[in-house]
């Protein structure tokens, strides 16, 4: 798997949750902050406004996508002038986004012109969250653009069809399409960031040499990598790779390698029944004792205790 695929796979837990919601003007809805999650809103029909006490209202039109990587609270309404008096949406509100809701189709509100929104969330494991996700802004707005973002537009339309008219297989199709939507959102946002030489995961994934080193680490974390070997993969000198990698990724190559090994081990402990020695070997430790010590330093628990807690 490539780096961006791994970023999503390692952090996400359980199934993504989504709802197909129809509001009729006038309407306004506050969405509560949900720590440990990433939320999204896709405008399928009509239009609405994103409201914030700290910024000017932003109009959202059909096809627009909002992504909230840190589960930030926000407000949507049919108009900036609408008084938002509805209760804050919580994870227990059936059919609305939160880590405990079910995939469903709901109709809310009556009256004026309709706005149809696909909303939902991903549950994330804070202990396995990739640093790329931590550096994303609180909100990413991707306006509808069929020409520049045809793949995102296609995913939105497929989701709208499946959620609007559930059929045989919808239960399996929707989670896969939600993962596809998330991948397209991140891919587009990363590609559209201005090129710069430091402090940016977007720059790292747009830099062929740094990406080659990252890919090598993700592809084969068990290999006894050295800076020299990673530099050979990247086609750079050791000093140049170390400097460029550290500036963009935020830590030296071998520090990132250790972090990725132990993060991968945490996922394997939670999602498989593989013996500890097998996991140790898969992530590059020839000694189960050395693996256990390194894992406890990183996660605060021995591997066995971590698995039992999970």
Q: Which fold has domain 201-309?
A: Arc Repressor Mutant, subunit A (1.10.10)
**Cα atoms in the 13 Å half-sphere on the side-chain side of 7:** 19
**What is the model's pLDDT at position 196?**
58
Predicted local distance difference test score (pLDDT) of residue 198: 55
| CB-based contact 77:67 (threshold 8 Å) | no
- Taking 3-state DSSP, the helix, strand and coil percentages for the chain, each rounded to the nearest 5, stand at 45, 20, 35
pLDDT on residue 253? 98
Tokens of 116: 């149809």
The C-alpha atoms of residue 74 and residue 58 are separated, in whole angstroms, by 12
Q: Where are the domains of the chain?
A: 3-191, 201-309
Q: Tell me, what's the pLDDT at 94?
A: 39
Task: Say what the pLDDT of residue 88 is.
Answer: 56
Q: Could you give the 3-state DSSP secondary structure of residue 129? A: coil
Q: What gap in Å lies between CA 24 and CA 177, rounded to an integer?
A: 27
- Tell me the C-alpha distance between 112 and 26, whole Å: 7
Token readout for 300 is: 């605060």
Predicted pLDDT of residue 96: 47
Segments in 122-169 forming alpha helices (H): 131-134, 150-164
Q: What is the pLDDT along the chain (310 residues), one digit of tens a residue?
A: 588 888 888 888 877 888 888 888 888 888 888 888 899 999 999 999 999 888 899 999 999 999 999 999 999 999 999 878 655 554 444 344 443 334 444 555 567 888 999 888 888 888 888 889 888 999 999 998 877 899 999 998 898 888 878 888 888 888 888 889 999 999 999 888 876 545 688 889 889 999 999 999 999 999 999 999 999 999 999 999 999 999 999 999 999 999 999 999 999 999 999 999 999 999 999 999 999 999 999 999 999 999 998 7
pLDDT of residue 234: 97
The span from the first CA to the last CA of the chain, in angstroms, equals 25
| 104-107 and 12-24 strand pairing | parallel
Superfamily assignment of 3-191 in CATH? Regulatory protein AraC (2.60.120.280)
Report the pLDDT value the prediction gives residue 92, as an integer from 0 to 100: 42
Measure the CA–CA gap between 29 and 120, rounded to whole angstroms: 14
The residues near 173 (Cβ < 8 Å, ≥ 6 apart) are: 162
Task: Report the DSSP pairing between strands 114-124 and 37-45.
Answer: antiparallel
The answer for residues whose C-beta is within 8 angstroms of residue 13's C-beta and 6 or more apart is 123, 124, 125, 270
CB-based contact 283:222 (threshold 8 Å): yes
Which residue matches tokens 């992504």?
67
């Amino acid at each position: 798997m490539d780096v961006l695929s791994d970023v999503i796979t390692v952090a996400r837990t359980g199934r993504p949750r989504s709802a197909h919601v129809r509001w009729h003007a006038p309407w306004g809805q506050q969405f509560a902050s949900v720590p440990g999650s990433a939320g999204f809103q896709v405008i399928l029909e009509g239009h609405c406004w994103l409201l914030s006490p700290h910024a000017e209202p932003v109009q959202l039109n059909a096809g627009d996508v909002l992504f909230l990587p840190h589960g930030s609270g926000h407000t949507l309404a049919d108009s900036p002038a609408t008084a938002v008096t509805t209760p804050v949406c919580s994870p227990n509100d059936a059919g609305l986004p939160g880590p405990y809701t079910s995939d469903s189709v709901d109709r809310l509100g009556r009256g004026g012109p309709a706005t149809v929104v696909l909303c939902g969330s991903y549950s994330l494991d804070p202990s396995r969250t990739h640093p790329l996700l931590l550096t994303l802004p609180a909100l990413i707005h991707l306006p509808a653009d069929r020409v520049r973002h045809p793949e995102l537009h296609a995913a939105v339309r497929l989701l709208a069809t499946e959620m609007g008219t559930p059929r045989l297989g919808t239960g399996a199709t929707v989670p896969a399409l939600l993962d596809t939507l998330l991948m397209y959102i991140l891919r587009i946002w990363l590609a559209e960031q201005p090129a710069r030489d430091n402090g940016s995961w977007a720059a790292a994934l747009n830099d062929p040499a740094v990406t080659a080193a990252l890919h090598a680490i993700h592809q084969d974390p068990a290999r006894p990598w050295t800076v020299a070997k990673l530099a050979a993969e990247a086609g750079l000198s050791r000093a140049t790779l170390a400097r460029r990698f550290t500036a963009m990724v935020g830590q030296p190559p071998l520090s990132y390698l250790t972090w990725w090994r132990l993060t991968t081990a945490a996922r394997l402990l939670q999602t498989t029944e593989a013996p500890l020695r097998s996991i140790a070997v898969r992530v590059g430790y020839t000694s189960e004792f050395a693996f256990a010590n390194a894992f406890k330093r990183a996660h605060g628990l021995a591997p066995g205790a971590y698995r039992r807690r999970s």
